[in-house]
Amino acid sequence: MSKKTFYITTPIYYPSGKLHIGHSYTTVAADAMARYKRLQGYDVMFLTGTDEHGQKIQRVAAENNITPKQYVDNIVEGIKKLWDLMKITNDKFIRTTDDYHVAAVQKIFKALYDKGDIYKSEYEGWYCTPCESFWTETQLVDGNCPDCGRKVEKTREESYFFRLSKYQDRLIRHLEENPDFIQPASRRNEMINNFLKPGLEDLCVSRTSFNWGVPVSFDEKHVVYVWIDALSNYITALGYGSDNDENFNKFWPADVHLVGKEIVRFHTIIWPAMLMALELPLPKQVFGHGWLVLEGGKMSKSKGNVVDPVILVDKYGVDAIRYFLLREVPFGADGVFSNEALISRINSDLANDLGNLVSRTVAMINKYFNGSLPKERQSGDFDEDLKSVLGNLKSRTEELMDKLQFSTALAEIWKAVSRTNKYIDETMPWALAKDESNRARLAEVLYNLAESIRIVSVLIQPFMPETPLKIWEQLAISEEERTWESAGTWGVYSNKSPVKAGEVLFPRIDIAKELESLANMIPSGDSKQQEKAKESKAEEKVEGVQLIGIEDFGKVELRVVKVLSCEKVEKSDKLLKLIVKCGEEQRQVVSGIAQYYKPEELVGKKLILVANLKPAKLRGIESQGMILAAEESERLVLVTVDGDIADGAKVR
């Protein structure tokens, strides 16, 4: 029986300069999805590439005294290297300058012309060169390009037009009848209400004012203007319009086109209309994800505030960067990139939660059993809960991955990591090891830890190409114990060969030092002045006391937290930075208690956290909540709990 197929695409990127972390975001997401489907046994086609034509490229090349092809060749080489660095597993890389693409676009253009869906007329309107977009008078915003806000130029020339208006009703019907066609749903409503219902105008699809493009085969003074050329890549890459359309027959229609939110319109209106005109099936889904922005606004080369993924991968490794991109922001929403957020995630999720879990488990199996667990094992308290969380993890992860919810899928996996860490606290293997009569129980506890790690290591494969291998080596997890299917079954780990300690998976990073070194290399989007203003605001004191009602008090969420680690904030004699555990979650809190407590005194203490305070930055370090303390002239003592209660418990 032939395998089920899965076809996923990224947009094809403009090679007008080096790609930044925002571009990597789309490609990493597509790669995670492609890896996931391959692991599930699908025959996957994952396409990415470059969109190389247009006036802008022609201009830049001329400025550099080289041909447009020389110019793009050079940049495309860099893009391919970046994808290698990010461990992108695309099955095909299309360049719109590839001969087969050019020939197929010419055929498509001609077929649409022959059908009457492309006709010649005259274009008069406004053109935005950086965006390569034509706009009508009414579409302009304050006389400027509605997409980028830059100046537009008036143009008038003979052009070919695509009869987009003819497809308006069919498009509305398609969107209404296929609620999943555009994801997330908010983008679907935007398309229907803002573009389709007000009425579609025919689209200008050729240009005579520049010649860096696919020539119209039957009227050579025209070149095909951007969208027919660019969008066709999704089918020409499969051989559509060539002698060999085997891949087209196998993979089309695409399962999902991943695109940034600003090009959803082209992919859900122009592209389906083109396909309708060609009498081809429509893609099953277009997913419009949000932008990764810096605190100062969208990354753009012209603003000079782009974040270079190469620097980040060199410093922290590809797995940490891929993890951060997919974990930090719910896929679909906009998200802020900051160096602090990146390092906090690496420290808390990767170094503390996963890295420590693996190294502690391997170390304990070595210490107590010389690397090999005995067959005699004895189950006990807490085992069932651990097994049920880990046992269901595969199906919960799959459910979320199928909806491209990368961030929640990772959150779900990390909940299981936290559950496993909690199991260590609950079962206290070091205490069991003190008494020979507990050997069987100790063996079971360590087996359960290794088995939980095995399941996690299999499920993180779509996101992290390197870490699973390192874990498998350390725990001696064999090939059969690594299959995707095996993550759905508890008890697969065989420990046939002894475990062996290896390198630390994610070394902890000294935030303060690292931020300083990064600030010299990567703009954080935040000027020093803004930073200062925020700090002083965070430290602002409210004067006077006011009576409040119980409902006001109810707005404050107080929780018991346990201090996991604590360190002094560099260059501050007042601040300590604490990592605290609050149930399943970990928080980083900066507190002005350094004159009263030494960091090592606090580790293990249970304190009270104001858990729903807006995050604030102190000395550039994000504080996710506030620790309560009582103050008396020169003295300060931390508020703590009277009795044994789990962290995460609510304080009322």
Q: Minimal CA–CA distance to 21: which of 528, 524, 617?
A: 524
Smallest distance from the beta carbon of 147 to ligand MSP, in angstroms? Answer: 10
583 sits in the region (left: phi over 0; alpha: psi -120 to 50; else beta) called left
Q: Which of the ranges 259-267, 276-284, 442-450, 563-571 carries the binding residues for ligand MSP, by CB under 6 A? A: 259-267
83 contact partners, CB below 8 Å, separation of at least 6: 27, 48, 90, 93
Residue 45 in contact with residue 247, Cβ under 8 Å?
A: yes
- In the bound state with ligand MSP, the residue whose beta carbon lies nearer, of 287 and 447, is 287
Q: Which amino acid is at 179?
A: P
Contacting ligand MSP within 30-59 (CB under 6 A): 51
Distances (CA, A) of 410 to 386, 417, 532: 18, 10, 34
- In the bound state with ligand MSP, the residue whose beta carbon lies nearer, of 229 and 647, is 229
225 binds ligand MSP (CB under 6 A): no
- In the bound state with ligand MSP, the residue whose beta carbon lies nearer, of 336 and 636, is 336
25 binds ligand MSP (CB under 6 A): yes
22 binds ligand MSP (CB under 6 A): yes
77 binds ligand MSP (CB under 6 A): no
535 contact partners, CB below 8 Å, separation of at least 6: 616, 617, 618, 619, 620
- In the bound state with ligand MSP, the residue whose beta carbon lies nearer, of 331 and 447, is 331
Tokens of 484: 């995707």
275 contact partners, CB below 8 Å, separation of at least 6: 281, 282, 283
- In the bound state with ligand MSP, the residue whose beta carbon lies nearer, of 300 and 379, is 300
Residues in the chain: 652
Residue 357 in contact with residue 414, Cβ under 8 Å?
A: no
Tokens of 345: 């995630």
Phi, psi of 68 (to 5 degrees): -55, -35
Q: Which of the ranges 290-298, 385-393, 416-424, 485-493 carries the binding residues for ligand MSP, by CB under 6 A? A: 290-298
Smallest distance from the beta carbon of 190 to ligand MSP, in angstroms? Answer: 15
For residue 358, give the 3-state DSSP assignment: helix
Q: Which of the ranges 146-154, 188-196, 209-217, 254-262 carries the binding residues for ligand MSP, by CB under 6 A? A: 254-262
283 binds ligand MSP (CB under 6 A): no
Smallest distance from the beta carbon of 96 to ligand MSP, in angstroms? Answer: 9
Residue 446 in contact with residue 361, Cβ under 8 Å?
A: yes
328 binds ligand MSP (CB under 6 A): no
Distances (CA, A) of 459 to 128, 483, 494: 45, 10, 18
Q: How many residues bind ligand MSP (CB under 6 A)?
A: 20
C-alpha–C-alpha distance, residues 416 and 314, integer Å = 29
- Closest residue to ligand MSP, Cβ-based? 260
128 binds ligand MSP (CB under 6 A): no
424 binds ligand MSP (CB under 6 A): no
240 binds ligand MSP (CB under 6 A): no
- In the bound state with ligand MSP, the residue whose beta carbon lies nearer, of 266 and 423, is 266
287 binds ligand MSP (CB under 6 A): no
Among 86, 108, 259, 286, binds ligand MSP (CB under 6 A): 259
- In the bound state with ligand MSP, the residue whose beta carbon lies nearer, of 58 and 392, is 58
184 binds ligand MSP (CB under 6 A): no
Smallest distance from the beta carbon of 432 to ligand MSP, in angstroms? Answer: 49
H runs (alpha helix) in 121-214: 168-177, 185-190
Residue 441 in contact with residue 378, Cβ under 8 Å?
A: yes
Q: Which amino acid is at 540?
A: E
Among 8, 12, 128, 611, binds ligand MSP (CB under 6 A): 12
14 binds ligand MSP (CB under 6 A): yes
For residue 88, give the 3-state DSSP assignment: coil
Tokens of 577: 């930075």
Tokens of 4: 């089920």
Smallest distance from the beta carbon of 22 to ligand MSP, in angstroms? Answer: 2
C-alpha–C-alpha distance, residues 178 and 286, integer Å = 11
- In the bound state with ligand MSP, the residue whose beta carbon lies nearer, of 306 and 618, is 306
241 binds ligand MSP (CB under 6 A): no
Please, what's the b/e burial string for 400-411 (b: 16 or more CB within 10 A of its CB; e: otherwise)?
A: bbebbbbbbbbb
Smallest distance from the beta carbon of 21 to ligand MSP, in angstroms? Answer: 7
Smallest distance from the beta carbon of 15 to ligand MSP, in angstroms? Answer: 8
Binding region for ligand MSP (CB under 6 A) = 11-14, 22-23, 25-26, 51, 230-231, 233, 259-260, 262-263, 291-292, 298-299
